[in-house]
Amino acid sequence: MIFLFTYFVKFTGWLVYLILFKTKVIYEDKKVQSRRIKGKAILASNHTSVYDFALYIFVFFFRTLRYQMAEVLFKKKLLGLFLKLMGGIYVNRDTHDFSFINKSKKILDKGGVVGTFPESRIPRKDEMPLLEFKPSVSYLSLLSNTKIIPTYTNGRYFKKKRAVVVIGRPIYPKDYLNDALSEKENIDIINNVLRERIEELRDIYETKEKEK
C-alpha cells in the first residue's frame, strides 16, 4: 500500500516538483553514491523546511523513503493521513517514547530506506545551523548495522534560485566502532562524524556557489 501510494504521488507530482523546486544535484563522489540507493540505508540531512521531505522523495525517485516525522505534523487530520499513507514514522519529541527506533529498524531489516533529520527541528531565525545533532540516527545505524548517506540542501524552495542537494559518500558505522569504548561513546563518535560530513557538504555547496 505504501509503495503504491508513494509512487502515485511521485508520478502525479513530478511536473509540479520540477516547476517549484528546480532541483540541482551535486555529488561528493557520484561513483560511490549517486541518486540510486542500493540496499538498506539511512538518509541524514540538515533541516531547513517542512518541504525537505518532499524534496528528497523526488531526488531519490526510485526508492521508497520512510521518513521519521515530528508529532506536530500528524495533528492535522488530512496531512496526518497523507503522511501515514506515505509511510511516515511517527516521532513524539515531547515524550520518552522511542518506539520510532524499533519501527525504523524493522524497515531497515527488510532492506528499506529511512529518512532522518538529526537536528530534530528546523532552526529558528536567530539560530545558526547546523543545530546540535540528536544521537538517535547514529544509534539506529549501529543497532541495525546500516550505512548513513549524508545529504545537504540549501532549502531554496518556490524561489527563482534553484534548490540544491549535495549527496555525500556513505558513512559505515563499523568503520568507527571501538570495542574498548562504551556504546554511548561510540554513538557520540558517529554523531560527530555525521555532523562534520554534512558541514563538509555545505562547504562543497558554498564553494560551487562562489565559482559561479
Q: Are 87 and 102 in contact (CB under 8 A)?
A: no
User: What's the pLDDT score for residue 20?
Assistant: 86
- φ/ψ (deg, to 5) at 116: -140, 160
Residue 75: strand, helix, or coil? coil
Residues present in the chain in total: 212
User: What's the pLDDT score for residue 146?
Assistant: 98
* pLDDT over threshold 80, residue 212: no
* pLDDT over threshold 90, residue 161: no
User: What's the pLDDT score for residue 210?
Assistant: 82
Contacts of 198 (CB under 8 A, 6+ apart): 44, 45, 46, 130, 150, 151, 152, 168
> In this predicted model, which residue has the larger pLDDT, 160 or 114?
114
User: What's the pLDDT score for residue 28?
Assistant: 97
Question: Each residue of 39-49: pLDDT tens digit?
Answer: 999 999 999 99
Which pTM does this prediction carry?
Answer: 0.95
Q: Are 67 and 114 in contact (CB under 8 A)?
A: yes
Average pLDDT over residues 140-156: 96
* pLDDT over threshold 80, residue 25: yes
User: What's the pLDDT score for residue 94?
Assistant: 83
List the grid coordinates of 193. Answer: 562524524
